[in-house]
Amino acid sequence: MPGAVVEVDRLVREFTVREPVPGRRLRRRARRVRAVDEMTFTVGPGEAVGYIGANGAGKSTTIKMLAGILVPTSGSVRTCGLEPIGERRTLSRRIGVVFGQRSQLWWDLPLSESFAILGAIHRLEPDALASRRAELVEELELADFWSTPVRQLSLGQRRRAEVAAALLHRPELVVLDEPTIGLDVLSKQRLREFLVHERRTRGTTLLLTTHDMGDVERLCERVLVVDHGRLAYDGTLSGLGATVAAERILVVDLAEPVADLQVPGTRHLGSEGEGVRQRLAFDPATTTAAAVLTAVQTRAEVRDLSVAEPDVEDVVRRLWARNRAVGAGGRPGSA
């Protein structure tokens, strides 16, 4: 695809793992592990793509290859039309990466100084720096703690500052690795709103990895599901939702033990305490939590309840299970 922001073609990355040999204390056996296995996908300009999968599925490895940190074992990758390894320094002016778990700020400096340094690092003109900085301070609400050393910021404040730091040089591609991990509901909401705004006003391409289905629902139109280094799904979120993602789980605590509940339009997932607590899955597109609850109440007295959204791991697990049931090697819902 011409003009693609990310082009990944049969990308493979292997690592050598050394593990102890049972019974031989000092021997180590080297084993090759494929973290990314024949991955192929393309991201066009302005797209917002959720890159999801369980821990160890190969998400971070892919991102590191996109950013020029790791060399692919085989296959090819182009980011912003550039060769990430050979043209790393040019590429770094055009992409912004936020690692949820590692900081690019100086822990003992206030944001005011950190952003001055980042401006120098990216060689921004004073005017361009000032206007962009003002924009980010306003939209991410950084003004209240602009002069506080980073080490004294709360997690939510720091995360917003990290996002601002990665976007200071107006990158055309923004890669976010677990951007909302550990944040409270309000902070998550704020960060998502900012990213939606940034994309709408500047046409920024977004690629984000996450464990949070909420991130995907509110930010991404397209979803790539990766499992054991392989692409398990590539398509719209609604396509994924129609299959597995949209399911909600109703957990009911009953007054006394009851046999497994069979409620129309739901799947019984399991019972605990001889049936005192039961879990029912339902699709909000075909029924509602209230309807399911009413149906349950005709059979037993409900003491307490909660409704859970499935997390990414659930989605991937079920997608994979269904995949195998359909027949090995199939790529469901390929778009």
Footprint on this chain of other proteins (rule: CB under 8 A): 13, 15-16, 64, 67-71, 73, 85, 88-90, 92-93, 95, 97, 99, 101-104, 106, 108-109, 113, 116-117, 120-123
CB of 125 to other proteins, least distance (A): 10
Residue 13 or 188: which CB sits closer to other proteins?
Answer: 13
Nearer to other proteins, 74 or 288 (CB): 74
Task: Report the nearest approach of other proteins to the CB of residue 325 (Å).
Answer: 36
Output 122 or 218, the one with its CB closest to other proteins.
122
- The nearest distance, CB 247 to other proteins, in angstroms, is 34
DSSP helix, strand, coil percent of the chain (3-state; round to 5): 35, 30, 35
Amino acid, single-letter form, for residue 201 = T
Helix or strand or coil: residue 22? Answer: coil
Which of 90, 334 has the CB closer to other proteins? 90
CB atoms within 10 A of CB 41: 18
CB of residue 43 vs other proteins: minimum separation in angstroms? 18
Q: How far is the CB of 46 from other proteins (least distance, A)?
A: 22
Please list, in sequence order, all residues whose beta carbon lies within 8 angstroms of the beta carbon of residue 243, skipping any fewer than 6 positions away. Answer: 319, 322, 332, 333
CA angle 82, 87, 91 (to 5 degrees): 65
Phi, psi dihedrals of residue 240, rounded to the nearest 5°: -70, -40
Q: Which two tokens stand for residue 165?
A: 């730091």
Q: Is residue 289 within 8 Å of residue 250, measured between CB atoms? A: yes
The Cα–Cα gap between 249 and 271 comes to 13
Q: Which is nearer to other proteins, 57 or 95 (CB)?
A: 95
Beta carbon of residue 119, minimum distance to other proteins (angstroms, whole number): 8
Q: Which residue, 36 or 250, has its beta carbon nearer to other proteins?
A: 36
